C-alpha cells in the first residue's frame, strides 16, 4: 500500500510478516537443500576421515597402555590398522539393551582368555552412533561377560572379585542391580555347556575387570589400578557428537558402522591398504575408485582357507580348497536352486542347491539334512573301516563359510561324528536333546568365533535333530 506525504510524493509502507509469501515449491526446495547438506556431511570422504581420526586415538591408547588391540566386530576393525590388530571379539550390543541383558552361549568369546592371560589384559575397540557415550556392548555386555567368567573360573575368590562392574556415568544404579540379579543364571548357563573350566583357569593369573576408555579419559592415570585384575579395557574410539554433523565440520561419530549403506563393498583391510589414496581422492571420483579397489582385492586375495572345527571336519566359503583333495569329502551349498537328483556329483562330492543364502534357504536346510548326513556317513564308511587312520576329512562350504556350512557341521557333530570329527559308531543310536545341541554349538563357536549361523539355520538344525530322535 502506498501513502502520500505533504509534498504529494508516494512512499512505500514497511513490509510485515504477512507480506512474505513462500510457495509450496519453495518449502520443498528448502527441505531438499537440508537433505543434500546432510547427505554431503555423511559422504564417504567424511566417513573415512572420521575413521582415520578415531584410529589415531586408538593407536595412542594402545601405545600408552601396552595391551593388544581386539576389534569388536563388526565395526571395530575399521579403527585398527591391520598390522596392529591382534584379533577380534564378538560382543553384541543387543545383549546389553535395557531389559534384555544376556550372556550369549553362542558367542562365548573364550578365545579372548588366552590373549588376556598372555598380555595381562587387552583393549577391545568399538564405537557407537551419534549422541551415545559408548556402545552397550562395552558398557554392559562385556562387564556381564567378565563377571560370569570370574564366578565360573574363580569360585573361591573373595572381596569384590565376583562383583559386576559397570560405568556409573552410563549405567544407572537401578539397571546395574537388575543386571547383577541375572548373573547367577548366566553362570548356570555357562556351566551347562560343559566348558573346560580347568583349562581356561590355567590361562589366567587373576580375575578380569572391565575398564572404560573414551576420548575424555585420562589414559596415564589408569595403569595404577591393574594390580589385582587382568584389565579388559573397553575403548570407545569415536568422540561424542550431540549435535548434527554439520556442526562438527564433517566429523561423523561411529563412522565405521552401517557399512552396507555407504561402503560400496569397501572393507577395513582394503581401506588401510589404500588409506592415502582414498583420503586424497575427490568425492566425485571416490565411488569409482572404491569399486575398482574392491574388485582388485577380490581378484588377488586368493581362495579362503577353510576353518577346522575338529580333527577331520572343516567349513569354508565356496572357493575354499580341501585340506587334502585326495581324502576329503566336499559338501557344497550353492546359491542356485537345483534338483535333489543332481546333488551327488561323485562318491566324495555333493552340491546342494538351496538358492540364494536367505532365511528361505536356511529353512529349506531342514529337509535337506537327512540326505547330507547320509552322504557323509556313506563316504566315511567307504573310505576305511577306521576313517581316522586314513585322515578322511569332510569340508562343508557355503557362500560365506560362516552360516549354513556351520549349521551342517553342527548337525553332523550331533548325529554321526564324535568331538574329533571321526565317525561315531553309536551316533545313530544316541538321542540328541537341546542341551547336547547347545553344548556342541558352544564348542563350534569357541573353535570358530567368526561363525555367524543365523537363527533360521539353527532352527533348521534343531528341527532335524529333534525329528530324527
Over the chain (469 residues), what is each successive 10-residue block's mean pLDDT? 48 61 56 48 84 94 93 93 94 92 92 96 91 91 97 91 94 96 95 91 95 84 73 94 64 87 90 94 91 85 81 90 88 90 93 81 85 90 56 88 93 82 62 86 90 90 82
Q: Which runs of E-coded beta strand occur in 159-246?
A: 208-213, 230-236
Which stretches of 205-301 are DSSP H helices? Answer: 268-273, 275-280, 283-300
- 10 Å CB burial of residue 267 (0-12, 13-18, 19+) is middle
**What are residue 123's phi and psi, to 5 degrees?**
-115, 120
Q: Which residues contact 23 (CB under 8 A, 6 or more apart)?
A: none
Q: How many whole angstroms separate alpha carbon 209 and alpha carbon 162?
A: 10
- 10 Å CB burial of residue 184 (0-12, 13-18, 19+) is exposed
Q: What is the 3-state secondary structure (H, E, C) of 304-359?
A: CCCEEEECCEEEEECCCCCCCCCCEEEEEEECCECCHHHCEEECCEEEEEECCCCH
Residue 2: predicted pLDDT: 44
Residue 106: predicted pLDDT: 87
Reported pTM = 0.83
Residue 5: predicted pLDDT: 45
Coil vs helix vs strand at 97: coil
Q: How many whole angstroms separate alpha carbon 196 and alpha carbon 214?
A: 35
| Strands lying side by side in the sheet with 230-236 | 85-89, 69-72, 122-126, 230-236, 208-213
Chosen CATH of 307-468 out of 3.90.190.10, 3.40.50.1370, 3.90.1580.10, 3.40.50.300: 3.90.190.10
Longest dimension (CA), the chain: 121
CA angle 98, 102, 104 (to 5 degrees): 145
Give the closest residue to 128 by CA, choosing from 260, 268, 255.
255
Could you tell me the CA-to-CA distances from 125 to 88, 240, 316, 340 in Å, in that order? 9, 15, 27, 46
Which neighbouring-strand residues pair with 210?
A: 232
Q: How many whole angstroms separate alpha carbon 363 and alpha carbon 319?
A: 24
Q: Delimit the domains of the chain by residue range.
A: 44-263, 307-468
Q: Which residues contact 276 (CB under 8 A, 6 or more apart)?
A: none
**What are residue 99's phi and psi, to 5 degrees?**
80, -5
Do residues 44 and 262 touch, judged by C-beta distance below 8 A?
Answer: yes
Q: How many whole angstroms separate alpha carbon 215 and alpha carbon 188?
A: 37
Q: How many residues does the chain have?
A: 469
- Cα four-point dihedral sign 144, 150, 155, 157: negative
Do residues 408 and 372 touch, judged by C-beta distance below 8 A?
Answer: yes
Rounded to the nearest angstrom, the gap between the alpha carbon of residue 83 and the centroid of all alpha carbons in its chain is: 20
Pairing between β-strand 349-353 and β-strand 344-346 as defined by DSSP bridges? antiparallel
Residue 36: predicted pLDDT: 47
Q: How many whole angstroms separate alpha carbon 24 and alpha carbon 72?
A: 47
Q: Which residues contact 261 (CB under 8 A, 6 or more apart)?
A: none
Which neighbouring-strand residues pair with 10?
A: 4
C-alpha cell at 369: 539334512
Amino acid at each position: 500500500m502506498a501513502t502520500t506525504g505533504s509534498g504529494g510524493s508516494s512512499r512505500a509502507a514497511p513490509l510485515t510478516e504477512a507480506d512474505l509469501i513462500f510457495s509450496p515449491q519453495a518449502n520443498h526446495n528448502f527441505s531438499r537443500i537440508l537433505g543434500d547438506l546432510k547427505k554431503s556431511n555423511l559422504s564417504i570422504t567424511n566417513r573415512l576421515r572420521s575413521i582415520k581420526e578415531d584410529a589415531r586415538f586408538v593407536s595412542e591408547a594402545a601405545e600408552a597402555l601396552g595391551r593388544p588391540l581386539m576389534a569388536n566386530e563388526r565395526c571395530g576393525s575399521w579403527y585398527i590398522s591391520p598390522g596392529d590388530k591382534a584379533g577380534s571379539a564378538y560382543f553384541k550390543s543387543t545383549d546389553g539393551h535395557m531389559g534384555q541383558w544376556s550372556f550369549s552361549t553362542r558367542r562365548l568369546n573364550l578365545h579372548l582368555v588366552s590373549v588376556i592371560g598372555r598380555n595381562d589384559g587387552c583393549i577391545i575397540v568399538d564405537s557407537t552412533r551419534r549422541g551415545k557415550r559408548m556402545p552397550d556392548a562395552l558398557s554392559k555386555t562385556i562387564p556381564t561377560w567378565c563377571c560370569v567368567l570370574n564366578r565360573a573360573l574363580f569360585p573361591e575368590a573373595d572381596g569384590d572379585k565376583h562383583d559386576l562392574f559397570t560405568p556409573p556415568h552410563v549405567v544407572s544404579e537401578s539397571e546395574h542391580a537388575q543386571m547383577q540379579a541375572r548373573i547367577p543364571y548366566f553362570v548356570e548357563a555357562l556351566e551347562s555347556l560343559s566348558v573346560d573350566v580347568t583349562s581356561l583357569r590355567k590361562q589366567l593369573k587373576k580375575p578380569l575387570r572391565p575398564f572404560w576408555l573414551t576420548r575424555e579419559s585420562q589414559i596415564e592415570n589408569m595403569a595404577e589400578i591393574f594390580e589385582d585384575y587382568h584389565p579388559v579395557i573397553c575403548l570407545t574410539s569415536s568422540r561424542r557428537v550431540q549435535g548434527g554433523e554439520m556442526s562438527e565440520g564433517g566429523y561423523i561419530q561411529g563412522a565405521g558402522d552401517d557399512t552396507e549403506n555407504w561402503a560400496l563393498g569397501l572393507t577395513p583391510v582394503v581401506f588401510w591398504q589404500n588409506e592415502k589414496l582414498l583420503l586424497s581422492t575427490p568425492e566425485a571420483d571416490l565411488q569409482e575408485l572404491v569399486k575398482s579397489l574392491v574388485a582388485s582385492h577380490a581378484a588377488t586375495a586368493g581362495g579362503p582357507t577353510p576353518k577346522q572345527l575338529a580333527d577331520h571336519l572343516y567349513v569354508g566359503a565356496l572357493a575354499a580348497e580341501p585340506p587334502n583333495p585326495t581324502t576329503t569329502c566336499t559338501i557344497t551349498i550353492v546359491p542356485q536352486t537345483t534338483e535333489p537328483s543332481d546333488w551327488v556329483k561323485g562318491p566324495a562330492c555333493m552340491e546342494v542347491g538351496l538358492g540364494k543364502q536367505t532365511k528361505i534357504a536356511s529353512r529349506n536346510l531342514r529337509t535337506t539334512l537327512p540326505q547330507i548326513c547320509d552322504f557323509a556317513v556313506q563316504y566315511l564308511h567307504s573310505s576305511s573301516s577306521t576313517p581316522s587312520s586314513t585322515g578322511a576329512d569332510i569340508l562343508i562350504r557355503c557362500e560365506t563359510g560362516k552360516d549354513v556350512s556351520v549349521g551342517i557341521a553342527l548337525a553332523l557333530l550331533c548325529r554321526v561324528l564324535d568331538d574329533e570329527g571321526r565317525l561315531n559308531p553309536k551316533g545313530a543310536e544316541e538321542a540328541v536333546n537341546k542341551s547336547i545341541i547347545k553344548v556342541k554349538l558352544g564348542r563350534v563357536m569357541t573353535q570358530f568365533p567368526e561363525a555367524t549361523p543365523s537363527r533360521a539355520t539353527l532352527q533348521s538344525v534343531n528341527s532335524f535333530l529333534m525329528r530324527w530322535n
